[in-house]
């Protein structure tokens, strides 16, 4: 390429340049947004995800699956860092993400709004694929190290497992998020 042709090249748009930024600044706005989604409400709860790469990957998948909002606790979890935002490839700009002071309280309030919560855990009695994932729903996934906390799991209406076909015990939280969210999408007949 000649020297003049370099000046004609445009900088490729970043993923975040292509998305309309969706902000939720407090819990009232979060609850209003979920209530407005009605029967299509889909909340992703990340209980203690600490790696910004995992958070970013979860937000990217949440955007692709049409999640209404993503919540996480303020304490013991990664916030929306520059790394998480970059890894999300625009997902952080499309799906509202809010860290809440009291995760248990937020889940209880969502349940009062008619949201049913499904948690992933090795304590789950049934397979993800045997569970009805239609209607207003919250999916709860645990941290990279210890999984779903018992207190959070106890708030869920059902605990499910993702079937593993080998001796590997579990999937990475961002992979589990993708598996679960796209099973919701499949069951809702969106694809």
Q: Identify which of 101, 120, 106 has the alpha carbon closest to the alpha carbon of residue 69.
A: 106
Query: How does pLDDT run across 72-101, given as a tens digit for each residue?
Result: 999 999 999 999 999 999 999 999 999 999
**Cβ(132)–Cβ(187) below 8 Å:** yes
Helix 27-37 / helix 103-112 crossing angle, nearest 10 deg: 30
**Cβ(80)–Cβ(92) below 8 Å:** yes
Q: Identify which of 38, 78, 80, 45 has the alpha carbon closest to the alpha carbon of residue 62.
A: 45
Query: How does pLDDT run across 2-55, given as a tens digit for each residue?
Result: 433 333 333 333 444 444 556 677 898 999 999 999 999 999 999 999 999 999
Query: How does pLDDT run across 119-176, given as a tens digit for each residue?
Result: 999 888 899 999 999 999 999 999 888 888 999 999 999 999 999 888 887 889 999 9
SS3 134: coil
Q: Identify which of 90, 140, 103 has the alpha carbon closest to the alpha carbon of residue 118.
A: 140
pTM (2 d.p.): 0.87
CATH code of the region 18-187: 3.40.1280.10
Length of the chain: 191
């Amino acid at each position: 390429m000649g020297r003049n042709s370099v000046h004609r090249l445009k900088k490729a748009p970043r993923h975040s340049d292509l998305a309309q930024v969706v902000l939720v600044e407090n819990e009232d706005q979060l609850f209003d947004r979920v209530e407005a989604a009605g029967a299509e409400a889909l909340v992703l709860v990340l209980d203690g995800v600490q790696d910004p790469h995992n958070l970013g990957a979860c937000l990217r998948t949440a955007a692709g699956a049409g999640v209404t909002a993503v919540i996480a606790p303020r304490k013991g979890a990664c916030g929306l860092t520059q790394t998480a935002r970059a890894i999300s490839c625009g997902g952080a700009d499309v799906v509202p993400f809010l860290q809440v002071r009291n995760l248990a309280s937020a889940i209880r309030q969502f349940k009062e709004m008619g949201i049913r919560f499904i948690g992933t855990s090795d304590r789950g009695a049934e397979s993800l694929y045997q569970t009805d994932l239609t209607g207003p729903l919250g999916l709860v996934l645990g941290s990279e190290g210890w999984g779903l906390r018992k207190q959070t799991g106890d708030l869920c209406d059902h605990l499910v497992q993702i079937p593993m076909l080998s001796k590997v015990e579990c999937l990475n939280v961002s992979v589990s998020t993708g598996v679960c969210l796209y099973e919701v999408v499949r069951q809702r007949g969106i694809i």
